[in-house]
């Protein structure tokens, strides 16, 4: 499984298709937030607008910097797994799946956290890991240190997301936090997603020993 390869036309076609999807989704959410469109939603349009905008911006910046440093495009698979996580969250709101199925929220938190952790792992390997002091890098190992940084960053972002939900409830009188145990449940499945990603990376590396796949 190669996560990156040299630029080709099919890779760019898929990436541009995902870009169009991102932009279309954001415009649709923004029009509903501005009440130009009047579609019903499980929670809030503001939450979806913020999530889509931040996800798209981070992905574009990452792809730009990656091409600048490595000389070729970020693989379309990275774009696809990010848009898949975003689509699960949006579908839960659009079709009221969060209210119909309790496990949908758990699935989204698990999958999105796994995706974020994996993406951060790739980004850290591509851009920042070599800037650490050699003593720290050699004692922990490139892969383990990258994985640790990706995992802790993902869990921090998960906590910030819960704070954002709380802020919406306070300022806009919404009910994004749900019942009392919902926040703890969300954080548990965020942690489960991070652990699943870590386990996958460690197993794959131990079986193949192909460090270049992650670099």
pLDDT at position 25, please?
Answer: 94
Query: Is residue 108 domain-shared with residue 212, that is, in the same domain?
Result: yes
Q: Are residues 47 and 63 in the same domain?
A: yes
* Range of the structural domain that residue 27 is part of: 1-100
Number of domains in the chain: 2
- Give pTM, 2 decimals: 0.81
Q: Per-residue b/e over 179-206, b at no fewer than 16 CB within 10 Å?
A: eeebbebbbebbbebbebbbeebeeebe
Of 100, 121, 152, which residue sits at a domain end? 100
Same domain, 119 and 150: yes
What pLDDT, on a 0 to 100 scale, did the predictor assign at position 137?
Answer: 52
Q: What CA–CA distance (Å, rounded) separates 51 from 211?
A: 32
129-155: pLDDT as tens digits = 655 554 455 555 778 888 999 999 999
Q: Check whether 5 has a pLDDT greater than 70.
A: no
Using the structure block, give the residue that is written with the tokens 């959410």: 29
110-124 residue pLDDT tens: 999 999 999 888 888
Q: Is the pLDDT of residue 161 over 60?
A: yes
Same domain (yes/no): 52, 106 = no
* Domain match, 10 and 46 both: yes
Greatest Cα pair distance, the chain, in angstroms, is 57
Residue 108 sits in the same domain as residue 33:
no
Q: Sorting pLDDT into bands at 50, 70 and 90, what band is 213?
A: very low
* 54 plus 95 within the same structural domain: yes
- Whether 12 shows a pLDDT value over 90: the answer reads no
Q: Phi and psi (nearest 5°) for 141?
A: 95, 140
Task: Single out the residue in 100, 129, 152 at which a domain terminates.
Answer: 100
Contact partners, residue 215, CB within 8 Å, separation at least 6: 125, 126
């Amino acid at each position: 499984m190669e996560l990156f390869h040299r630029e080709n036309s099919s890779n760019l076609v898929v990436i541009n298709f995902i870009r169009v999807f991102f932009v279309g989704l954001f415009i649709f959410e923004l029009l509903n937030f501005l009440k130009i469109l009047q579609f019903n939603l499980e929670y809030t349009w503001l939450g979806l607008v913020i999530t889509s905008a931040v996800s798209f911006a981070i992905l574009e910046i990452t792809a730009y910097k990656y091409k600048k440093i490595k000389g070729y495009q970020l693989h379309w698979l990275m774009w696809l797994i990010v848009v898949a996580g975003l689509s699960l969250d949006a579908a839960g709101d659009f079709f009221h799946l969060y209210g119909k199925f309790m496990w949908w929220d758990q699935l989204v938190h698990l999958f999105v956290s796994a995706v974020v952790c994996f993406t951060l792992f790739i980004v850290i390997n591509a851009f920042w890991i070599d800037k650490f002091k050699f003593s720290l890098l050699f004692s922990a190992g490139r892969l383990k240190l990258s994985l640790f940084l990706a995992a802790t960053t993902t869990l921090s972002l998960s906590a910030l997301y819960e704070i954002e939900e709380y802020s919406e409830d306070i300022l806009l009188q919404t009910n994004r936090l749900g019942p009392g145990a919902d926040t703890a449940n969300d954080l548990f499945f965020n942690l489960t997603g991070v652990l699943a990603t870590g386990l996958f990376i460690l197993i794959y590396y131990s079986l193949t020993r192909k460090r270049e796949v992650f670099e």
